Chain A
C-alpha cells in the first residue's frame, strides 16, 4: 500500500475547467471518498489518478513516485467501475486471472492468487460462471476481486455501488468497508451519494464545480461545513439555509427576516456575524437541532407546516421561512398536520452562520 498526493491538479477541456487546482493527500491505508454532485469533477479526478486521461498540469504522486506520465498499468493501481466492467465472455476465474496474465505471471502463481482472492471474497463456488450468470452484487464482488488479486498500491473505485438496488447497496457498503479494514488498503472512492461517503470514508473530499470544497473527516465535515455548498450537500435531509439580514439592536446583533420576524444572536454567534463582509447572513440549521412547538414560545419563530413525512421512527416536517425550505425532525408521537401553525426554535449553540456574499462559514476567531 502507498499514499497518494495530488498537487495543484488541473484538467481542462478547451476553456472548461473540469478539475481546478485540487490538492490533497491520501495517507497510506486511508479510505478517502471523493464526493459531490454530477459534473463536480470527482470522476475526472479519479481518472487522472488512474492515468486514463492525461493531466493538464499539477502533479500526482503514488507512493513517492511522480506518475504524471505513466500508463495506467505502470501506476500500480487497480480500479473498480460503476458497471463492474467484467469481461462478459470470460469466466469469473478468467476475469480474476486477466490482470495477472497481462503481467505474465507464471500459471501456478496466477491460480494461487485467483483462488486466494476468491476465498477472501467468498466466491469460490462462482469461479466457473460467466458474469451474466451472476447477480449484481456478485458481479461487483468479482470486480473487487479483480482489483484485489493484483495487490495494488491503491484501489480506485468509481461509484461501485450505484448500479445495485438499495438493499444490496447497504450490504455491499459494509463489505467494502470490511474489505478496507482487513486489507488496510489505500482506497480512493468516488460517489455522488454523501451517505456512502459519510458511512465509509476516513476522510471525505467534497467537490463542486471542479473545486475541492472541503477535505476532512465525515464528522468534521458534518459538524463544521466550510461553506454553504458543503452544508447543503452533506446530511439528509439537507441543512436548512435561511437568508437573513444582520443588524445591531440594543447593543446586540439580531438577524431579521424579510417576513418581519427576527432572531437575537448569542454572544459567540454575534462575534461570527461581525466578521461577515456585508449584512447578508445565512442561517444554517440541521433538522435535528430545530425544536418544533405547537404553541407560541419566547424566541420561537412562527411558521406554517408545509408537508409532513412520517418515516417510522422520526417524522420530517417541512416549512418555509424567509422563502427557504426548513426541515425539522420530530418524534412520531408529535402529530403535525399540513398547514398547521407551528413555532420553530433554533439552538444557538448548534446553528451555522454563513457569509451571504462569499457563502463561506463564519468563524468566531
Chain B
C-alpha cells in the first residue's frame, strides 16, 4: 500500500516535470546544437585528458597502444625536481605579474580619471600593449632584450652605465624577471580599463559628502573610492591570475622555457612534454593538476561575481 502510494506520489511529481519539458521542447531543440558542440570540443577532451593521465605513452608506440600505469604519472611528476622548479616559476610569474600589473593599471586608471588635456590620447597610447598581438610583442621584446643588438643594452652602454650589454634572457637569474616585465607591460592596460570602468561607478554624491565631511583627497580615496572598487578589483585580479596561470605565448616565443628550465611555466612545460617529447600521459597528468588549480580560482571568481550581484540586489 505504502509502496503504491509512494510510486504514485513520485509519478505525480514526475508528470508535471515531464510536461514542463515537453512544453519547452522547442527551447531544448534550440540549445541542443550548442550542447552537442560543447560536449565534443570540451567535455570529451577533458575526459580523454583525464584518461590519458593514467597511461604511459612511449614515443615509439601509437596512442591506441598506450600502457595503463595507474597513478605513476602523478607520482613521477610530484617527485621530479623539474616539477617544483616549474611550479615555483609559475607562482612567481603569476603572483608578480598579477600584482604589479594590477597596481600599475590601477595607478594609471586613477591618473586618467582626472580630466586633463591630452587624456584621450594618453589613454589610447596606454592601451596599445594590450591590443597588439602577443606574438609580435614577444618578438619585439626579444630584440629589445637582445644582448648584442638590443636597444636597452645599447642605451646602457652608451650612457656608460654598463661595460657591456646585460644578458636579460640568456641568463638563468634574469630571464624570469625579464619575461615578467614584458607580461606586465602587456596586461596592465587590461587592469587599467577595468579600474577606469570601476572608477566611473563611484557615486559623485558620495565623494561630495566626504568632501563636506572634511575628508582630504587621500581620505576620500581610502574611505569611499577604494571600498567601492573592492569587487571590481577582485574580479580584475582573478582574471589576471587565471590569464597568467595560463600564459604561453610570451615565454614560449621569447625563451621556449630556457635557459635550463629557468623560464618554464606550467603551460609551456606541458606543451613541451606533449608536443615536443610526445609524453602524452605525463602532459595529461600535468593538465589535470592545472585543471583543478584553475577550477579553484574559477570558484573564487564566480563567488566574487555573485557577491557583487547580492549587494546590488539589496542596495
Q: Which A residues are within 8 Å of any B CB, using their own CB?
A: 50, 52, 71-73, 77-79, 81-83, 85, 87-90, 98-99, 102-103, 132-133, 146, 150
Contacts and interface: CB of A to CB of B under 8 A. Distances in A.
B154 to A, nearest CB: 50
Contacts of B210: 87, 98
10 tightest Cβ-Cβ pairs between the two chains A and B: A102-B214, A73-B214, A85-B209, A99-B213, A89-B227, A85-B205, A79-B212, A72-B212, A132-B315, A81-B205
Contacts of A78: 212
B203 to A, nearest CB: 7
Nearest to B219: A102
B312 to A, nearest CB: 10
A140 to B, nearest CB: 13
Contacts of B230: 89
B208 A98 contact: no
Contacts of B135: none
Contact of B203 (A71, A85, A150): A85
B91 interface: no
B203 A52 contact: no
B212 A83 contact: no
Contacts of B213: 73, 98-99, 102, 146, 150
Nearest to B209: A85
Nearest to B215: A102
B313 to A, nearest CB: 10
15 contacts: A50-B208, A50-B212, A52-B208, A52-B212, A73-B211, A73-B214, A79-B212, A82-B205, A85-B209, A87-B209, A89-B227, A99-B214, A102-B213, A132-B311, A146-B213
A73 B315 contact: no
Contacts, number: 61
Contact of B214 (A50, A90, A103, A132): A103
A146 B213 CA distance: 9
Interface of B: 203, 205-206, 208-215, 219, 223-224, 227-228, 230, 311, 314-315
A103 B208 CA distance: 16
B315 A52 contact: no
A88 B177 CA distance: 40
Contacts of A79: 208-209, 212
Given A71-B211, A81-B205, A146-B213, 18 more contacts: A50-B212, A52-B211, A73-B214, A73-B215, A81-B208, A81-B209, A83-B203, A85-B208, A87-B209, A87-B210, A89-B230, A98-B210, A102-B213, A102-B219, A103-B214, A132-B311, A132-B315, A146-B209
Contacts of A102: 213-215, 219
A99 B210 CA distance: 8
Nearest to B313: A132
Nearest to B314: A132
Contacts of A85: 203, 205-206, 208-209
Contacts of B314: 132-133
A326 B205 CA distance: 41
Nearest to A73: B214
A87 B224 contact: yes
Nearest to B224: A87
